[in-house]
């Protein structure tokens, strides 16, 4: 009688068991990148996520990476608990890491090697503290299987070809500008504040116009003969 061979299916945890362990500033910036990109690609066949386990070797749950933020074009934007590259048949097109004292070596040495091996086309690092990277915004683009540094302009602006955006370090934040029209991406809360500010400015201009009109009328009435 032939023995029955049983195969044990690998288990892929949804957490690596490690806390984020970052400052409020780093966490907020990481979340902001995800929010900006997710809002921009809303309604499109683009998946945006971050701080999510990406498993890249079928059958080996120890082979994973957890990018701060990443974008995968050409797949459903539906929410996922984990990301398996062999199931999705895709890897991220671009990854963003928010560098800190704790993650500097990993972000500048370990992850570039892994991301290049996986075939991630572009990889960007940003240091909101302006203490751990020089320059504070760095980018790499995959060329013939190896990362080449993306040269910035005189102001340190970098072009992300995968997203057709220009990346700019401004006021301790990473800003995203569309290449086709120069528009800056805003989170829903930033957009609401911008619209509220614009409404206040329009109201102030209208009030000023009313005051000026009243002044002109009074001046005209004073000059007219009685």
Q: What counts of helices (H) and strands (E) characterise the chain?
A: 5, 12
Q: Give the pLDDT confidence of 107-157 residue by residue, as tens digits.
A: 999 999 999 999 999 999 999 998 999 999 999 999 999 999 999 988 889
Q: Give the pLDDT confidence of 190-223 residue by residue, as tens digits.
A: 877 766 666 577 667 777 777 887 887 887 778 7
Lowest model confidence (mean pLDDT) among 17-21, 52-56, 77-81: 17-21
Query: What pTM was estimated for this model as a whole?
Result: 0.82
DSSP class of residue 103?
T
The CATH number fitting domain 24-185, selected from 3.90.1570.10, 3.30.70.100, 3.30.2350.10, 2.130.10.10: 3.90.1570.10
Calpha distance 115→118 (Å, rounded): 5
**Nearest Cα to Cα of residue 22 among 101, 78, 94:** 101
What is the percentage of the chain residues whose pLDDT exceeds 70?
Answer: 89
């Amino acid at each position: 009688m032939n023995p029955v061979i049983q195969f044990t299916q690998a288990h892929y945890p949804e957490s690596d068991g490690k806390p984020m362990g970052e400052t409020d500033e780093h966490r907020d910036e990481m979340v902001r990148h995800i929010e900006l990109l997710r809002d921009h690609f809303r309604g499109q066949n683009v998946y945006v996520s971050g701080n999510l386990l990406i498993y890249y070797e079928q059958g080996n749950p120890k082979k994973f990476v957890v990018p701060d933020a990443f974008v995968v074009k050409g797949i459903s934007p539906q929410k996922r608990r984990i990301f398996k590259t062999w199931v999705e048949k895709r890897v991220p097109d671009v990854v963003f890491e928010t560098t800190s004292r704790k993650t500097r070596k990993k972000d500048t040495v370990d992850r570039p090697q892994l991301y290049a091996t996986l075939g991630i086309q572009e990889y960007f690092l940003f240091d909101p503290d302006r203490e751990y990277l020089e320059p504070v915004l760095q980018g790499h683009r995959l060329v013939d299987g190896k990362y080449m540094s993306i040269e910035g302009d005189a102001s340190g602006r970098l072009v992300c070809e995968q997203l057709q955006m220009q990346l700019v370090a401004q006021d301790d934040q990473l800003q995203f500008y569309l290449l086709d029209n120069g528009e800056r991406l805003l989170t829903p809360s930033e957009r609401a504040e911008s619209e509220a500010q614009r409404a206040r400015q329009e109201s102030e201009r209208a009030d000023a116009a009313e005051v000026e009109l009243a002044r002109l009328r009074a001046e005209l009435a004073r000059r007219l003969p009685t």
